[in-house]
Amino acid sequence: MSGVFFHTAYSAFKREVQLAGRIPSWYYWGMVDYDRIVRECFWDSSISGDEIRKIVMQGDLRRKKQLFERILLGSSRYLHDLQLFDREDLRILLEEYKIPEFNHDYAFRRKNISEVFFFDKELKIGELKWTA
């Protein structure tokens, strides 16, 4: 029974992806906990998991930047959740992200860890560097 359910769910997912035109090749969408993302990152506004999915798959860059910032600064599993974005979109979002004055150290650390994790950039956080 579970194999039939999985196949049906996967087929529906493939149709959704074909309609959207693309999907990040590195991410298994079945593991996305949209309720957690909404609860942690959008507690002060009303947005649904479906809206998040639409922004990631079809949204303009401005909406993706807003979603990216909310996930980067608010998600308890931000490295996992940032994988929702297409790799090229994520590269652009990280490069264009301006670290705010408020919470500067927190935002800087999360951005730098994301750059290291996804794109092998230089680690700039002294206490996390390996000593040789």
Residue 83 lies in a domain: yes
For 60-78, write each residue's pLDDT tens digit.
Answer: 999 999 999 999 999 999 9
Residue 70 lies in a domain: yes
pLDDT for 22 equals 47
pLDDT at residue 2 tops 70: no
Contacts of residue 89, Cβ cutoff 8 Å, sequence gap at least 6: 61, 64
pLDDT for 112 equals 97
Residue 131 lies in a domain: no
pLDDT for 31 equals 75
Residue 26 lies in a domain: yes
The parent domain of residue 69 ranges over: 2-125
Separation CA 1–CA 37 (nearest Å): 30
Separation CA 113–CA 56 (nearest Å): 21
Single out the residue of 12, 83, 84 nearest to residue 49, CA to CA: 84
Q: Is the pTM of the predicted complex or chain greater than 0.85?
A: no
The number of folded domains in the chain is 1
Separation CA 30–CA 66 (nearest Å): 23
